[in-house]
Amino acid sequence: MAVTQVSRTFRGADEIVTLAEEMEADEIVAVLPLNIIAQLTQTRYKPIRAVMHRHVDETTGKVTFMHSHFERVERVDVVTMPLRPMNKG
């Protein structure tokens, strides 16, 4: 198994799928905006994400994140509600 890290900006899932196919990738581990992860779930690739746990040191207040496990993202449901503009004044 080989792991290749790609660090760049993508406009959408189609660019990621094209790159994955060019690299003959079996999996995609995603650190991406939610909307792009949602797009990826509609392709043959179901991205993998790292699950992290937040730990706060009670003495120092320092926050660290510790890796727990990986999981496959099968579907993303995003439900939004428009916000009303804030009054200036």
Reported as a single tens digit per residue, the pLDDT across 38-87 is 999 999 999 999 999 999 999 999 999 999 999 999 999 988 899 988 77
The pLDDT score that the predictor gives to residue 79 is: 86
Whether residue 10 contacts residue 36, with contact meaning beta carbons closer than 8 Å, is answered with yes
In a domain, 7, yes or no: no
Strand partners, 78: none
Domain extent for 51:
13-72
In a domain, 19, yes or no: yes
In a domain, 41, yes or no: yes
Whether residue 45 contacts residue 28, with contact meaning beta carbons closer than 8 Å, is answered with yes
In a domain, 43, yes or no: yes
In a domain, 81, yes or no: no
In a domain, 31, yes or no: yes
CA distance 21 to 1: 16
In a domain, 56, yes or no: yes
The structural domain count of the chain equals 1
pLDDT interval class at 89 (50, 70, 90): low
Paired tokens of 78? 């995003």
